[in-house]
């Protein structure tokens, strides 16, 4: 490889890494102590928990704070956990991935968006950014997630990002006196790379080079 080609590759890699944690309208940052009260409040909100948890319950803030802290250590290549910050600098949610190991290289992903930040496209952009981290930086072969059969909004979002329904655990959760199914969805690395690059996650290398030049 010529010296000029090496320089170009180095420059492109720097540009790419500079947007690894940033989208057009959101960014990821490390979990901070100041985030915990709001995250714990969201987790204990029944309007939220019915969409994410097997059992609607109220847990002590100390236990929930420890849970978010454990998800966000970022001390191993098996996953990550980051706070989601919107364009105004406000805490908008949290995203995590875990369980990535060889040889399968399958990561499980989960996201929570604060009630006041839903319906603004933040969840979509955060998932797109998280998928880029999982596939392009951690080397995942597949990303999996789960939701409940009654959460139509989540199923539509995940499907629009390329996830495929891979299974259904019948009668896996019990709410309001009746059983509901758990929907299991997955996205392979080759499916992720075959999809068009999203417009709202970072800028393309050429756009960044124009800006930098």
pLDDT in tens, 86-127: 999 999 999 999 999 999 999 999 999 999 999 999 999 999
- The matching CATH number, chosen from 3.40.50.300, 3.40.50.11540, 3.40.630.30, 1.10.10.10, for 3-212 is 3.40.630.30
pLDDT at 206: 36
For 157, half-sphere exposure in the C-beta direction (CA atoms, 13 angstrom radius) is 19
Q: Is the pLDDT of residue 209 over 70?
A: no
Q: Is the pLDDT of residue 208 over 70?
A: no
pLDDT at 39: 98
For residue 195, name the pLDDT band (cuts at 50, 70, 90).
confident
As a whole number of angstroms, the distance between CA 191 and CA 130 comes to 15
pLDDT at 16: 86
As a whole number of angstroms, the distance between CA 35 and CA 171 comes to 35
pLDDT at 123: 97
Span 117-141, average pLDDT: 97
Rounded percentage of the chain residues whose pLDDT exceeds 70: 90
């Amino acid at each position: 490889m010529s010296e000029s080609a090496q320089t170009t590759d180095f420059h492109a890699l720097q540009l790419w890494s500079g947007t690894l944690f940033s989208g057009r309208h959101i960014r990821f940052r490390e979990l901070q102590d100041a985030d915990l009260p709001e995250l714990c409040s969201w987790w204990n909100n029944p309007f939220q928990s019915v969409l994410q948890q097997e059992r609607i319950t109220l847990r002590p803030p100390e236990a929930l704070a420890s849970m978010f802290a454990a998800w966000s250590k970022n001390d191993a290549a098996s996953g990550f956990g980051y706070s989601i910050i919107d364009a105004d600098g406000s805490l908008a949610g949290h995203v995590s991935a875990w369980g990535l190991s060889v040889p399968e290289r399958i990561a499980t992903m989960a996201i929570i968006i604060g009630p006041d930040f839903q319906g603004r496209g933040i969840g979509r952009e955060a998932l797109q950014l998280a998928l880029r981290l999982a596939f392009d930086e951690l080397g995942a072969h597949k990303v999996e997630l789960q939701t409940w059969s009654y959460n139509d909004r989540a199923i539509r979002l995940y499907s629009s990002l390329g996830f495929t329904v891979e299974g259904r655990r019948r009668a896996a959760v019990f709410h309001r006196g009746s059983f509901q199914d758990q929907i299991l969805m997955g996205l392979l690395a080759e499916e992720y790379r075959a999809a068009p690059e999203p417009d709202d996650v970072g800028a393309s290398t050429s756009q960044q080079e124009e800006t930098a030049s």
